[in-house]
Amino acid sequence: MKVPEIITLNTVPEVALDWHQKGRGAVLATVVQTWGSAPRRVGAQLVVSGDGNMQGSVSGGCVEGAVVLEAQQALADGRSKILEFGISDGDAFAVGLACGGTIRILLEPIGAVLPEPMLKELVEARAQRRAVAYVVNIQNETRALEYSGHSNRMQMDRSGFEEDGQTFVTIHMPPLRLVVVGAVHIAQALLPIAQIVGFDPVVVDPRESFASPERFPDVKILNDWPDEALQAHGLDARTAVVLLTHDPKLDDPALELTLRSEAFYIGALGSKRTHEKRCVRLQEKGFSKDQIARINGPVGLNIGAATPAEIAASIMAEMIYSLRSDG
């Protein structure tokens, strides 16, 4: 399988499968429980190879280093293992547990414990943008992938133990996507930020001189008219759409399509006056005030941003706020 060129914290299962299939060995480490303050949420994952490389994160500092050593031992033993790290406030900063706290981490060697066919199915489901729950009973070592029956957890994107205290559910939601319409200077700053955060980025612009591999390396480029590109690409509840062309001929058709979708975030560049005119045009097209109110315009949090990079940061902050506050 092909691993994404830019590895984010959200591609751990894909990297684990790739390392295992290449004979490097792989152990999946998952945060299953936290008490007090912890830098990563329950469900956060790290993959460790047999030669000690790692991708992802479960904490930081000495905890991560200890996890790597324990994972290599688990790989050699061919057994799962639960690690627990409890840190006092005084030592917390040095080992990556802010203000103290305790975390439990489940180690699962790929192949010996987590079957390769199951991991492959998980990776394929993620590629198909299917929500899936990986369910493991830490007492009797049973494992399964479940596509239904966890609606509350999937809605909240929240992994955790069930009430029995033995069954842990890791929620894998479809990767977040960002579609940027307009291959302008702000997009050049926004898309790399989005990749680091964990979004799958796409830039749409019919102008090939703007949307080119030279200007947007490692980003999917669609040189089509925005409405056609968005319709072909598909918009769902895990997708954010940002319009940056400042040209109604390009922005408005894309906006009309996006407003009819489940996209969790819609942002459009322009001044307050420009946005007012945009709203009038959409009202004339038959869109209601509630529908139009979904548009974040002017786009981005009001942090006094001036440069393209600062504007990009304000847009990403607003996207994350919209995602997390609604969840």
CATH classification at residue 321 = 3.40.50.720
Please indicate, yes or no, if residue 288 is contained in any of the structural domains: yes
Based on the fold, state whether residues 167 and 273 are members of the same structural domain: no
The pLDDT assigned to 209 comes to 94
The tally of domains found in the chain comes to 2
Phi-psi region of 21 (alpha: psi -120 to 50; beta: other; left: phi over 0): alpha
Distance of CA 56 to the CA centre of its chain: 12
Please indicate, yes or no, if residue 2 is contained in any of the structural domains: no
Based on the fold, state whether residues 105 and 186 are members of the same structural domain: no
The pLDDT assigned to 41 comes to 86
Based on the fold, state whether residues 62 and 121 are members of the same structural domain: yes
Q: Which residues pair with 4 in a beta bridge?
A: none
Based on the fold, state whether residues 189 and 166 are members of the same structural domain: no
Tokens of 269: 């560049």
- Secondary structure (3-state) at 111: coil
Q: Which residues pair with 146 in a beta bridge?
A: 133
Element (H, E) at 213: none
Distance between the two ends of the chain, CA-based, in angstroms? 32
CA atoms of 150 and 260, how far apart (whole Å) = 27
Range of the domain at 23: 12-172
pTM for the whole thing? 0.74
Based on the fold, state whether residues 189 and 144 are members of the same structural domain: no
Based on the fold, state whether residues 186 and 115 are members of the same structural domain: no
The pLDDT assigned to 63 comes to 83
CA atoms of 267 and 111, how far apart (whole Å) = 44
How would you label 82-92 residue by residue, b for 16+ Cβ within 10 Å and e otherwise?
A: ebebebeeeeb
pLDDT along the chain (327 residues), means of 10: 45 96 97 80 94 88 84 97 75 51 92 98 93 96 95 88 95 92 96 93 95 94 94 92 93 94 95 94 95 95 95 97 75
Based on the fold, state whether residues 97 and 210 are members of the same structural domain: no
CA atoms of 254 and 276, how far apart (whole Å) = 17
Distance of CA 21 to the CA centre of its chain: 24
The pLDDT assigned to 7 comes to 42
The pLDDT assigned to 94 comes to 52
Based on the fold, state whether residues 208 and 237 are members of the same structural domain: yes
Residues 6+ apart with CB under 8 A from 31: 38, 40, 41, 42, 43, 44, 45, 58, 59, 103, 104, 105
**120 and 114 in contact (C-beta within 8 Å)?**
no
Q: Tell me phi and psi for residue 86, to 5 degrees.
A: -120, 125
Based on the fold, state whether residues 189 and 130 are members of the same structural domain: no
